[in-house]
Amino acid sequence: MFQLFMRRAIVAVLMLATVSVLAFSLLRLSGNLAAELAGNNATQEQIEEVARSYGLDRPFVVQYFDWLGAAVRGDLGRSLFSGEPVAEIIASGLPVTARLAVFSVLLIMLIAIPLGVIAATRPNSWADRLTLTIAAFGQAIPNFWLGLMLILVFGLYLGWTPISGQSTWQHYILPVITVSLSSLPATMRLTRAGMIDVLGSDYIRMARAKGLPQRVVLYKHALRNAILPVVSVLMVTFGHILSGTVVVETVFSLNGLGYEVFNAILRADFPVVQTVVAFLSCVYMLLTLFSDLINAKLDPRIALN
């Protein structure tokens, strides 16, 4: 277990270095960030002035290590647009996005796992068909459009829910539904496939032969093994939701991380963009590391490999 952790941690540090370089180069790819910041009508002198004041005239490597060094010491830079520290921007946006992601993952678990189990135990039943239909819908509905339709029906026509903002828990109902539906199919299919796989195995037949009740066979023997890949996929889903809320946050006017980074992208606000990209990659890596460790804990065979 410890060895696995060390091995994974070393790879994670290496990846963090690579990803931070990529994040750092992202807005610099155009070749001339200073010209972009100075605007369309800027003279050559003004562009040079901008480059000097932001330190963009220094060599790329120097700029990178300067940024990285400051970041390691806890200084994530400041927004070019508002002058606000990037750390504060992340701190103000993250809770909203994290709430959205946590609620969505909970909803996904509540719906996908039971439906997946029922669908697997009764192939071709109504539950199975319902599962596959929900999966097909979830994969095909454009999430920005689903958000707008939910706003229209539940917010405007029926008036049951607020339609924008983030002040109460009710504000999260529609965004959470929107996010969950598009992330639901993967978990549901995996639970269903995993259960079908496990239910066909010898030890389940053995458990049934011993005369154990269906409930015990399903939830104690089968689900425990089928749940392993589901745990990983839920972690990955959580990571994807955290980094993919740009669209949903725009539709529901949530001031989360996605909204902040989208505005920063539009303004070429590179300190914000590079730091948020690096931050999200970091979170994703931690999540996958965590899910590997959970899996190793749940299934000792993994740790041995």
User: Given the rule CB under 8 A, which residues bind other proteins?
Assistant: 11, 14-15, 18-19, 22-23, 26-27, 29-30, 36, 136-137, 139-145, 148-149, 151-152, 156, 243-244, 246-247, 250, 258, 261-262, 265-266, 268, 273, 276-277, 280-281, 284-285, 288
Closest approach of Cβ 236 to other proteins, in Å? 8
Closest approach of Cβ 253 to other proteins, in Å? 12
Nearer to other proteins, 112 or 276 (CB): 276
Nearer to other proteins, 46 or 262 (CB): 262
- Helix (H) / strand (E) element for 154: namely none
Closest approach of Cβ 137 to other proteins, in Å? 8
CB 178 within 8 A of CB 190: no
Nearer to other proteins, 142 or 213 (CB): 142
Distance, CA of 154 to CA of 144 (rounded, Å): 15
Nearer to other proteins, 188 or 261 (CB): 261
Query: Token pair for residue 92?
Result: 């103000």
Strand partners, 85: 78
Query: Token pair for residue 134?
Result: 């929900």
Burial of residue 242, with CB atoms counted within 10 A of its CB: 0-12 exposed, 13-18 middle, 19 or more buried: buried
Nearer to other proteins, 115 or 246 (CB): 246
Distance, CA of 93 to CA of 90 (rounded, Å): 5
Return the ∠ at Cα 286 (arms to 280 and 287), rounded to 5°.
90
Closest approach of Cβ 143 to other proteins, in Å? 7
